[in-house]
Chains A and B, each alone.
Chain A
Amino acid sequence: MRFLLRRLAHAVFLLFAVSILTYLFASLVPGDYFDEMRLNPQIAPQTVVALRAQYRLDRPLPLRYVRWLDSVVHGDLGYSFSYNSPVAPLLLVRARNTLVLTLTAALLAWGLALPLGVRSAEHVGGLPDALVSWMTAGLLVVPDVVLALGLLLFAARSGWFPTGGLVSIDFDSLSLARKLLDLALHIMLPVSVLVLTALPLLVRHVRSAMIGVLEAPFLQAARGHGIPRRRLLYRYALPAAANPLISLFGFSVGTLLSGSLLVEVVMSWPGLGPLLVEAILSRDLYVVIGGVLLSTLFLVIGNLIADLLLYWADPRTRVESPAK
């Protein structure tokens, strides 16, 4: 329990620090959302001044930050200039889509990486191992943008998959089963890009962790007792190799989030990515800060889950570490 509290406190502190950091950078910029209006001869200079005052852009920086914190506490996350609404509801819809995408990708990537890594660790130097290592090497040298564009072209040419968006136009009129199918078809392309880019690293780590464990004396003994292969690998060896993999899980959430940003833009998946890019181009300050903050939150939660899993899986981590 104390462990959990400490991790939580750490996470909150982290988010706070990130918010100050992004806010600080934001204030260092020359110019803001209303600069373009100033160039427009149809808008009076007084209007721009009034608008800036309305959004309180004319106040000193610490004051603005405190006001923004206040709005965070109230669940608004500031106000979007271009959407003319509080940021939080805007972000939440997009964040849901991003989460659907990254979580599906994370599950699939791990679901594929575990058997592949275990299998190639079982026969080191054998044919499956060689195949897997060639595959991972091949995937490592193809950047995700390229992969995404390639798959997009494939989808457009073949017509088998929709090339963008979250659901079809007639989504609301479909039955539940058809709705799920529709969603699955739409999510297929972005998810496969994410899975394929995340896979090599995961497989390699699973493989090396398993190789280390498979040589351990207790597994030799278990093998000598005649425990079936599958049970030996997944019930005995995998839990013993789980530690570094659980830490990797937290890390993989981060890479998937960053990867999804680009993939979302390429495949026009209505997630945080396109919103953020648009906001940056139009200098919609609070949307940008909110987006960065939200993605940090996801990452922190991912790491927190990894920590808790580790705490649950490995009693050794429960011992209070002696002071450095």
Chain B
Amino acid sequence: MTKRRKLVKWLVVLGALHGVVACAGFLSPYDPTEQDRERPYAPPVRLHFRDTQRRFHIRPFLYPLRVREGSFAQFDEDTARVTPVRFFVDGSSYRLLGLVPCRLHLFGAFPARICLLGTDGYGRDQLSRILYGGQVSLAAGLLGAGTTLLFGLGIGTAAGYYGGWRDDVLMRLAELFMALPWLYLLLGLRAFLPLSVRPTQPFLLIVIVIGLVGWARPARLIRSVVLSFKERDFVRAARGFGASDGYILIRHILPETSSVLLTQAAILVPQYILAEMALSFLGLGVPEPLASWGNLLANLRQYSVLMSYWWMYLPAVAIVPFFIGYLGLASALQEWADPSRWA
């Protein structure tokens, strides 16, 4: 029972994290591409409760930032103008969960901008970009893992169930793919795709490329599961009753692969999030103005940004809880799926 509770705990944690990113439109005050060229690299705003006259405000407020005379990206607080933080405000339009058109944001401020995590070189709100970037990165991870598992399942089942020369050919191919250093392979594949088209197109290409690279390991695992089940008594019995291959696969064999699939998914998703980050970081992944955790971090490749603006590191911090979640989920799944069942 404790194994189950552990599993549920990690699922809830991950669900909450994904929920936050999925509701990026509501939680972020601005559109991720909305620029403010007057305030590039503005530091995170400070929320105050006490004004210059030491009066206490229940509603937190902020002072608008203004550029210090004769400097670049040096900001002072304009203490003359108190801008209260407002909750549930109307702002830029977005689609909630990608479906419902909506204008409501959790918080906002007017007339000054409220950039809780600072802004980037174009004055775009860093918090909004991290949240929206999370959507892209997580989608890449999830879709990529889905593609891989689908391929792995198909190839592994075919190799394990039908055996013979198909098995030999497919497993040699799997060895070939496992022998390749994956990041080089990823770059190699990416090299031969068109460099820039519409922003959604590279994203899909990346997902497919990432997904295609990793099929070998799950395929081998699934093959071994299929191999161990295809000669069990209940499968033979079904065959004796005249069940077709398709029926046996769907009713008897594929359900047995589910625990392997789930565990592999929990291992693959963070790996693929990382792969997307690596590609985007190198400038080969998701292109601007679309945000992703990888291309947000790519800003740090400029030495001046690396040295001066600490809030540009925050996308890196955003990844860590997801990694903790997925690692926990993977180990909980491994404990939960009793391996002795198909040993």
**B-facing residues in A270-324 (Cβ within 8 Å):** 276-277, 279-281, 283, 288-289, 291-292, 295-296, 298-300, 303
Indicate whether B343 reaches chain A with its CB closer than 8 angstroms.
no
Partner of B323, one of A143, A265, A296: A143
In the bound complex, residues from chain A placing their C-beta under 8 Å from that of B194 are 29-31
Residue B99 at the chain A interface, CB threshold 8 Å: no
Q: Given the complex, which residues of A lie within 8 Å of B320, measured CB to CB?
A: 141-142, 146
Find out whether the CB atom of A25 lies under 8 angstroms from the CB atom of B189. yes
- Among A46-54, A119-127, A217-225, A253-261, the one that faces the other chain is A253-261
- A292 to B186 alpha-carbon distance, docked (Å): 10
Q: Which residues of A contact B323 (CB under 8 A)?
A: 140-143
B8: Cβ under 8 A from any A Cβ: no
CB of A277 within 8 A of CB of B181, answer no
B301 at the binding interface (Cβ < 8 Å): yes
B161-193 interface code vs A (CB 8 A; 1 in, 0 out):
000000000000001100111111101111111
Greatest chain A CB density within 10 A among B180, B181, B282, B306 is at B181
Chain A, range 116-173, C-beta contacts under 8 Å to B: 137, 140-146, 149-150, 152-153, 156-157
Q: How far is the CA of A18 from the CA of B188 in the complex (A)?
A: 11
Contact A266 B191 (CB under 8 A): no
Q: Are B319 and A296 in contact (CB under 8 A)?
A: no
Complex Cα spacing A65 to B311, Å: 49
| Bound form: Cα–Cα A300–B180 in Å | 9
A29 vs B154: C-alpha distance in the bound complex, in angstroms? Answer: 27
**By the criterion CB–CB under 8 Å, are A254 and B281 in contact?**
no
Residue A262 CB within 8 A of the other chain: yes
A296 to B324, Cβ gap below 8 A?
Answer: no
B254-285: CB near A (< 8 Å → 1, else 0) gives: 00000000000000000000100110011110
Tell me if A258 and B179 are in contact (CB < 8 A).
no
Given known A-B contacts A25-B192, A149-B306, A277-B284, A291 and B278 have beta carbons under 8 A apart = no
| A120 to B: closest C-beta gap in Å | 17
Cβ-defined contact, B282 with A296, below 8 A = no
Decide if the interface of chain A is mainly helix, strand, loop or mixed: helix
Q: How far is the CA of A291 from the CA of B187 in the complex (A)?
A: 10
Set B180, B187, B193, B303: member contacting A296, Cβ < 8 A: B180
Residue in B180, B192, B195 whose CB lies within 8 Å of A299: B180
Report the Cα distance A277→B190, complex, angstroms.
10
The reply to whether B327 and A149 form a contact with Cβ atoms under 8 Å apart is: no
- Given A30-B194, A145-B281, A296-B179, A276–B307 Cβ distance below 8 Å? no
Q: Are A149 and B176 in contact (CB under 8 A)?
A: no
A227 located at the interface, meaning its Cβ lies under 8 Å from any Cβ of chain B in the complex: no
One of B176, B188, B189, B319 near A143 (C-beta < 8 A): B319
In the complex, which residues of chain B have a beta carbon less than 8 angstroms from the beta carbon of A18? 176, 179-180
B327 touching A141, Cβ below 8 Å: yes
Residues of B within 8 A of A141 (CB): 320, 323-324, 327
When distances are taken between beta carbons in the complex, the residues of chain A under 8 Å from B301 are 266
- Tell whether, in the assembled complex, residue A156 and residue B282 are in contact, meaning their CB atoms are under 8 Å apart: no
Asked if residues A261 and B184 are in contact (CB atoms below 8 Å), the reply is yes
Partner of A280, one of B187, B274, B306, B307: B187
Interface assignment of B102: CB less than 8 Å from any CB of chain A: no
Say which residue of A265, A281, A292 sits within 8 Å of B188 (CB atoms). A292
A12 interface residue per 8 A CB criterion: no
| A183 contacts chain B at the CB level, 8 A cutoff | no
Give B295-320 interface residues, CB cut-off 8 Å to A. Answer: 297, 300-301, 303, 306-307, 313, 316, 319-320
What are 29 A-B pairs with beta-carbon distances under 8 A? Answer: A25-B188, A28-B192, A29-B193, A137-B327, A140-B323, A143-B316, A145-B281, A146-B319, A146-B320, A149-B297, A149-B300, A149-B306, A153-B306, A153-B313, A156-B303, A254-B179, A257-B183, A259-B183, A276-B184, A279-B191, A280-B191, A281-B195, A281-B283, A281-B284, A289-B188, A292-B185, A296-B179, A296-B181, A299-B181
Contacts A283-B195, A292-B185 known; 17 new A-B pairs at CB < 8 A? A26-B191, A29-B192, A140-B323, A141-B323, A143-B274, A143-B277, A145-B316, A146-B297, A149-B316, A152-B306, A153-B306, A254-B181, A257-B183, A258-B183, A276-B184, A292-B180, A295-B181
